[in-house]
Amino acid sequence: MRTLKKSWVGIVAILVSIPVFLVPFAFIILTAMKGKLDAADLGFTWPKKIELWDNIVGVVQARDGQALVAFINSTVLTVASVTLLVILASMVAFVLQRRPSRWNGLINFLVLSGLIIPPAVVPTITVLQGLQLFGTLPGLILIEVAFGMSFCVLLFRAFLATIPREVDEAAIIDGAGTLRLFFQVIFPLLRSVVITVIVVQSVVIFNDFTNPLYFLPGDANATVQLTLFNFQSEFNTSWNLLFTDILLITIPPLVMFLFFNRQIVAGLASGSVKG
Amino acid sequence: MLSLKTKRSILAVAAGVSAVALALTGCSSGGGTGTGASATSKQTISFLIDNSDANVKLAKGLIADYAKIAPKVTVKLETRPAGSDGDNLIKTRLSTGTMNDVFFYNSGSLFQALAPEKNLVDLTNQPFVANTDPGFKTVVTSNNKVYGAPAGTAMGGAILYNKKVYADLGLTVPKTWDDFIANSQKIKAAGKIPIIQTYKDTWTSQLFVLGDFANVTAAEPNWAKDYTANKAKYATDPIAAAGFNHLEQVHSLGLLNKDFGSATFDQGLKMLATGQGVQYPMLTFAVSTIIANYPDNAKDIGVFAIPGTDASKNILTTWEPAAVYIPKTTKHLAAAEGFVNFIASTKGCDSQTKSSGITGPYLVKGCDLPADVPTYVADMLPYFQAAGGTSPALEFVSPIKGPSLEQITVAVGSGITPAAKGAAQYDNDVKKQAQQLGISGW
């Protein structure tokens, strides 16, 4: 009886989620298959003629193959930023969690301000110009790392609180140095949070529009989100190409989500046990 | 002996100091990298334009043709988003000194918002200035200095109409607003949509107000000046308020398409091209989209100015073309000036015609249009050829344009806000903008 009741709840939840998640996705796919005029009606209808392949070719060829360059740029940006974020944020969180000191209050305050205070564009560009990093991919990577740092430090810290101190002590007694203690003993224990951070931050950075727009000028530096604007302008939009581009861009995060779905929930939940 | 704790804090302070030092050395090394390229060697300049299809095509054509004239200069194209993202991008680049060598941007009130004296190179003494239409010069001038060269063609804010339906129903182009309403009633009786409105794309709702401005100027030549000086108001001047009243009237008479609230610009063009809808108040550039999407129907699309009360004064409200500007931070000033002069020359017009077809009259002396022009351009030309047949839109003669006009016109056009109240709301909206710009009298 009880399992029956439970499955009913599940079915209702699925039914509710269909219009929210699947209908928009179906709309993207349908529009991506249409021709230009057919798509301009923005109707939820079966395409008159399926032109998905033509649209994909159109998207890839637009602006001399900018889409391909953009995919490479976005991949480099996402992978590098997320790797740096995971390593740096977990190290910061480990030190903050394990070594209470007078500075902790200030550092916690700075971490929280990173979440609260919105970043300003013009001063950031001035700093980047001073560092000779403006308009380069490494510059943007550092920006994404800086903006994502607070959120990741908080996640890691919350999870580290659940790992008993005895683990560290045992490792130290066995002769592990600081680096070895962290990378070989603690870091593997953080697996579920690391996966959460990877997934959440990858999606955020991959989907970022404003930071690449302002901090990485130049057509050769475009990221995938910026290519959307090739097909959408103030007065005239090629809906079919726009939605094809959206479809292509949606695939990588979607694949990632399908693979890591379980771990995300587990990671978020395990971090929330102790604050 | 230091305790472990003090040791740790010394370490932390040392780390902090070295981090700051690192940042500072980074700063100081950023100084002397400016490279002065000599004028004779090969140079590359970059050109920023918005990403609309038509403009990218235009820019590509210009760059290809300029390469033939000036083989030593390579122009690299870069695109930017349109709309408010684009505005922010332009302002950010200007204020951080990272603007491209030449950039394409609106003239008129948006140009004034760029702080031209601070950011742009004064082009007053360039050769193109002498050949440029005086009306255009006023919209790229700040404190008697010219900062921009025209790129593209002038357009009208008018009623686009389907000539075929007009001919079938035996209608003639209306000279007064009452004629226009009478025509619309006949179209409605014939079972077609008399007036198309597409409020999903809110900007399309403003044409009855903005496109009526030629009629305001015709009746009160000093209106724009008084308006800028806070002496004239939409709400208190019945002639200026006519635009809002028209918008209310066409809704209350039921002359609109049924889905006016949710229809998009693209759908509006489709209705007009297929003859399902007959009249669409719009900027004339829209016809180039019809030519691209519905080539068979394009010859049926005509243009007439939004009619006022006086049949003898039939004046088209015009929008000046955008301009190209050079930022003060450019390192290739001579090359950039050469490119700008080319764009605003007869060769530049030819190049533009070649890449994007004829979209309206050019504002450069000597750029005549061929006899064979699209129907809608042919309809526009008489206004441009007649003395006083055109008059610029308000945003080109006054720096003040309130940001919320499109929301207000949607509300008035949907019958939510009465016309008088809408006009008053817009006067209020404009007030904030004028105060921000620091105009005296507000």
pLDDT in tens, A120-138: 888 999 999 999 999 899 9
> Does the distance separating the beta carbons of B293 and A40 come in below 8 Å?
yes
φ, ψ at A67 (rounded to 5°)? -60, -40
- Under an 8 A CB cutoff, do A131 and B23 touch? yes
Which chain A residue shows the shortest CA-CA distance from B84?
Answer: A234
pLDDT tier at B39, thresholds 50, 70, 90: very low
ipTM passes above 0.85: no
Q: Does domain A75-228+252-271 have CATH number 1.10.3720.10?
A: yes
What span, in angstroms and rounded, lies between the C-alpha atoms of B30 and A135?
14
Residue for token pair 């009306």? B135
Nearest to B27 among A99, A130, A213 (CB): A130
Percent of chain B whose predicted confidence (pLDDT) is above 90: 61
What's the confidence (pLDDT) of residue B2? 46
Indicate which of B10, B57, B79 best probes the interface with A, i.e. most A CBs within 10 Å of its own CB: B79
Contact A229/A79 with Cβ under 8 angstroms? no
A183/B122 Cα distance (integer angstroms): 60
- Rounded Cα distance between A14 and A240, Å, is 29
CA distances from B270 to A193, B280, B287 (A): 52, 11, 11
The third-level CATH classification (topology) of the domain covering B155-319+376-437 is D-Maltodextrin-Binding Protein; domain 2 (3.40.190)
Choose from A233-242, A262-271, B240-249, B432-441 the range with maximum mean pLDDT: B240-249
| pLDDT of the residue at B14 | 47
Residue A9: partners with Cβ closer than 8 Å, 6 or more residues away: none
CB contact under 8 A, B270 and A37: yes
Confidence grade of residue A83 (pLDDT, cut at 50, 70, 90): very high
| Predicted pLDDT of residue B37 | 39
- Specify whether the backbone of B350 is left (phi greater than 0), alpha (psi in -120 to 50) or beta: alpha
Which helix H or strand E contains B440, and what residues bound it? none
Say which range, A13-22, B117-126, B183-192, B260-269, has the weakest mean pLDDT. Answer: A13-22
pLDDT of residue B35: 36
CATH 3.40.190.10 domain locations along chain B: 43-152+321-368, 155-319+376-437
Distance between A56 CA and the closest CA of chain B, angstroms: 18
Say whether pLDDT at B25 is over 80: no
Vertex A104 angle, CA A102 and A106, to 5° = 95
Decide if B92 and A233 are in contact by the 8 Å CB cutoff: no
Contact between chains at A134 and B98 (C-beta distance less than 8 A): yes
To which residue do tokens 């000279």 refer?
Answer: B175
Going by pLDDT thresholds of 50, 70 and 90, the confidence category of residue A2 is: low
Of A13-22, B32-41, B242-251, the poorest mean pLDDT is in B32-41
> Residue B426 contacts by C-beta under 8 Å, 6 or more apart in sequence?
B234, B235, B244, B402, B404, B405, B408
Nearest Cα residue to B102 out of B364, B347, B331: B331
Report which of residues B37 and B224 the model is more confident about: B224
pLDDT, one tens digit per residue, over B258-301 is: 999 999 898 999 999 999 999 999 999 888 888 888 889 989 99
> How confident is the model at residue A257, as a pLDDT?
79
The model's pLDDT over B363-420, given as tens digits with 9 standing for 90+, comes to: 898 888 887 888 999 999 899 888 888 889 998 888 888 888 999 999 999 999 999 9
pLDDT at residue number A74? 94
| Whether the predicted pLDDT of A269 surpasses 90 | no
**CA B42/CA B61 separation, integer angstroms:** 21
Residues in B closer than 8 angstroms to A229, CB to CB, are: 51, 79, 81, 85
Contacts of A102 (CB under 8 A, 6+ apart): B9
CB A233 to CB B53 under 8 A? yes
Checking if the pLDDT of B334 tops 60, the result is yes
**Please, are residues B399 and B228 in contact by the beta-carbon 8 Å criterion?**
yes
Q: Is the pTM for the entire model greater than 0.80?
A: no
Contact B325, B161 (CB under 8 A): no
Interface of A with B (CB under 8 A): 36-37, 40-42, 63, 99, 101-103, 121-122, 125-127, 129-132, 134-135, 213-214, 217-219, 229-230, 233-239
In this prediction, residue A234 has a pLDDT band, given cuts at 50, 70 and 90, of low
Mean pLDDT of chain A: 87
| pLDDT band, residue A267 (cuts 50/70/90) | low
Calculate mean pLDDT across residues A194-217: 90
Class of domain B43-152+321-368: alpha beta
Residue with tokens 């005086």: B134
**Position A167 pLDDT exceeds 80:** yes
Name the range with the highest mean pLDDT among A60-69, A117-126, A266-275, B95-104. Answer: B95-104
Checking A82-88 for CB contacts under 8 A at 24+ apart, the result is: A82/A197, A82/A198, A82/A201, A82/A202, A82/A205, A84/A141, A84/A145, A85/A144, A85/A145, A85/A148, A85/A149, A85/A152, A85/A197, A85/A201, A86/A152, A86/A194, A86/A197, A86/A198, A88/A145, A88/A149
Cβ–Cβ below 8 Å for A40 and B79: no
Neighbours of A57 (CB within 10 A): 12
Cβ contact, residue pair B92, A234, below 8 Å = no
Amino acid A272: pLDDT: 53
